[in-house]
Chains A and B, each alone.
Chain A
Amino acid sequence: MNKTVNPNDLTSDDDYGPLYAARKKVYPQSVSGTFRRIKWGLMAFCLGIYYLLPFVRWNRGLGAPSQAVLIDLPNSRFYFFFIELWPQEVYYFTGLLIVAAVALFLMNSVGGRIWCGYLCPQTVWTDLFYAVERLIEGDRRERMKKDKSSDPMRLERISEIVLKHSIWLLIAWWTGGAWVLYFNDAPMLVKQLVTFQAPMIAYAWIGILTATTYVLAGFMREQVCVYMCPWPRIQAALTDEWALNVTYRYDRGEKRTSVKKAAELRVLGEHAGDCVDCYQCVAVCPTGIDIRNGPQLECIQCGLCIDACGNVMTKIGRPKRLIGYDNDINIHRRQEGKAPVYRIVRPRTVAYSAIIAAVGGIMIYTLATRSLLDVNVLHDRNPVAVRLSDGSIRNAYTVRLLNKSGYDRVIAIDANGPANATIHVIGVDSVTPDRPMIVIPRDSTSELRLLVTAPADSNPEKSIPVRFHVTDIGLGEAAFATDNFVSP
């Protein structure tokens, strides 16, 4: 990013070098080709999901939210299609984060910065903003000329600038708008938003995300990748010699020369490089670097220089992929006259895949087998045990029942502990003796006070385990929790 400084330029004696560096604005040129098409496709796919997902409906029955993906903060619920997570299950996200991180490592060891080049929101939105800019202000040369021009602004130029920023703001506003739709019923919230009846917090978040999108994609752009994002630094430590990165094949490209001279050299049977120094790879680069200088922190590996170079090679009748996904091993092999070797399957990628499979498998297993009925028991601490007037011993427990299903349940409670013990739940009149039954409404928890009384003659040991069984008497679904019965 820093310009190369010519020693002759440093003439002043008190020149301690610049304290800060002014940003060199990048004007990426439009390009067509395979990677550009992939990028358009992925952009449409990612933005499509982001903008439209809140409107996807999912029937969960009457009274439950019908939005497929919903973060319901007031009620502490997260809905994802058929999955409903409660706050105590947020640890599932730990698994999700591990999978996401290792997937990033895997991408990196297979094809370099695939995430940065194609999928990262910063890249996607910046790409979209560049497309708008290009549509309104023209391609690289025109934009450079317009920015440099010292002529007074004419109406045409002013309207161009106004139009560009308006469209940018519109996209940014839509981005913020889609964000808040994930937190409330989308159609209802849209209606509230347009009639100015939505909660203040919704407008505030739309405002914040409009601002960040507009600033990050419209102005900060590659500065985010170069200065703000930690991933370029991390990925440099994760890559290896087999990882395929966007690479200038200097074995083929050097020594650079003109098209004419190269043709002459080849006629004479001498070696000539394919690179004709046309600078198309530099012109299309969204971070403004020269890929021919080798792997660089600034390179997000979007593949646009591959397209640009490929188009030039086709024109001058040389084979494509002078710039391509490659690595240094193969460059050296070709220099030695050997065939290139591509090793996608290697210990590193196998290990990453295994971790993803293992963590993903555990997550799916726990999700699939998790109980929709749960019980927690907490023993009273003061007093631990109570002696009643007839000498019998009573322990009290706080029992929390969780009904995660979409319907009300009738639950029977049994306690397996001291011999001949009776149980009683405060506020619940037993229909059947010693087997209290209670109704837990759907998607809720109930906290009960449960008393276990052992007769005086049983005289149990100091502490014996008790197992509390809760059974849905309709479905037979059951859960249990264990605690202890203590004597005074």
Chain B
Amino acid sequence: MTDHHSDIDSVTGRSTTGHEWDGIKELNTPLPRWWVITFYLTIVWAIGYWLVYPAWPLISSNTTGMFGYSSRADVAVELANLEKIRGDKMVALGAASLADIEKDPALLALARAKGKTVFGDNCAPCHGSGGAGAKGYPNLNDDDWLWGGTLDQIMQTIQFGARSGHAKAHEGQMLAFGKDGVLKGDEIVTVANYVRSLSGLPTRKGYDAAKGEKIFAENCVACHGDGGKGNPEMGAPNLTDKIWLYGSDEASLIETISLGRAGVMPAWEGRLDPATIKAMAVYVHSLGGGK
């Protein structure tokens, strides 16, 4: 390092910092004073920030600052405002009849938006995020409804559930014909094949159709109706269509007939407010399968 105290660059006539690399010297170019002052001011500002706002992590909490500001409190206020804004619209939704909601584009959009969110929070675990369902959990997009697919019926099912324990819940279940000893093994196989034949599915070789029909008439018609068309009052599915909640293969049918089925849909009354349940009914109905 050269002595920089009197080291002046001959070309520019300016002093250098005295730093030299391979013969190249660095000119001393001091910062403007206002820049330096601004820099110090930002440091002061930062210290002020520590005092006013939450800043330093402590062992189990953090410094709260002089104003007691917290971003969570901000969110709470925003959410309260949002509820207030939505309040009027949800009141309008609660007041309108289900049929009117589907006819009014603005209410329909609101009901669908609200219904979709609530569906995602409450129904998706069983029915899937888009209501596609799974084995034992009905697909809500199709036109097959155990308890009826009109707006009112859907709403009723959401409100009170099925076998939910609620006083107004849908009751009625598929009995365990095998376990309870009502039908013997070979009878169950026969009637399972008969049920398959109702919707045009192939049957086992050598199966006795007449015997199957007889067993069906004696045991199943009470709920599933003549010809197996089902009965939404009992939650008895239509056995002649292409939709099978628990599977249509022989083994699944034998299991269903032997052990019975009694899936549970919880009641949502009390857990969700009436306007929200309405929105959800409209949403489910609008998925495409509603009658």
Contacts and interface: CB of A to CB of B under 8 A. Distances in A.
A383 B128 CA distance: 9
6 contacts: A19-B31, A21-B30, A386-B142, A394-B142, A447-B109, A451-B288
Given A20-B36, A388-B242, A447-B109, A7 B28 contact: no
A53 to B, nearest CB: 33
Interface string B124-148: 0000111111000001011110000
A15 interface: yes
Chain B, interface size category, equals: 35 or more
A402 to B, nearest CB: 15
Tell me whether chain B's interface is mostly helix, strand or loop, or mixed: loop
Contacts of A16: 4
B15 A5 contact: yes
Given A17-B30, A382-B128, A387 B242 contact: yes
Give the residue among A21, A396, A427 with the most B Cβ atoms within 10 A. A427
Give the residue among B112, B141, B144, B287 with the most A Cβ atoms within 10 A. B141
Interface of B: 4-6, 8, 12-15, 17, 28-36, 102-103, 105, 108-109, 112, 128-133, 139, 141-144, 238, 241-243, 286-289
Contacts of A63: none
A20 B108 contact: no
A389 B248 CA distance: 13
B256 to A, nearest CB: 18
B32 A4 contact: no
A466 B281 CA distance: 30
Given A10-B15, A17-B30, A20-B35, A388 B5 contact: no
Given A10-B5, A388-B242, A19 B35 contact: no
Contacts of A10: 5-6, 15
Contacts of B102: 426-427
A381 interface: yes
B241 A5 contact: no
Nearest to B286: A426
Give the residue among A396, A426, A456 with the most B Cβ atoms within 10 A. A426
Given A5-B8, A5-B14, A387 B142 contact: yes
A477 interface: no
A223 B32 contact: yes
A16 B139 CA distance: 81
B288 A17 contact: no
B238 A2 contact: no
Contacts of B133: 383
B278 to A, nearest CB: 15
A27 to B, nearest CB: 18
B34 A17 contact: no
Contacts of B132: 382-383, 386
Nearest to A394: B288
B288 A391 contact: no
A22 B8 CA distance: 20
A22 B130 CA distance: 68
A167 B34 CA distance: 24
Nearest to B7: A7
Interface string A429-463: 00000000000000000110101000010000000
B142 A389 contact: yes
Interface string A6-18: 0100100101111
A389 B288 contact: no
Interface in A6-59: 7, 10, 13, 15-23
Give the residue among B12, B109, B287 with the most A Cβ atoms within 10 A. B287
Nearest 9 CB-CB pairs, A to B?
Answer: A382-B130, A383-B132, A389-B241, A4-B13, A386-B141, A21-B30, A20-B36, A391-B242, A426-B286
A21 B144 contact: no
A342 interface: no
A390 B128 contact: no
A227 interface: yes
A389 B242 contact: yes
Nearest to A17: B28
B33 A22 contact: yes
A264 interface: no
A4 B14 contact: yes
Contact of B287 (A15, A387, A396, A427): A396
A58 to B, nearest CB: 30
B289 to A, nearest CB: 7
Given A4-B12, A383-B130, A426-B286, 4 more contacts: A18-B30, A20-B33, A386-B289, A394-B288
A459 to B, nearest CB: 13
A380 interface: yes
B142 A427 contact: no
Given A19-B30, A387-B242, A396-B288, A7 B141 contact: no
B283 to A, nearest CB: 10
A17 B31 CA distance: 12
B33 A427 contact: no
A383 B242 contact: no
B5 A13 contact: yes
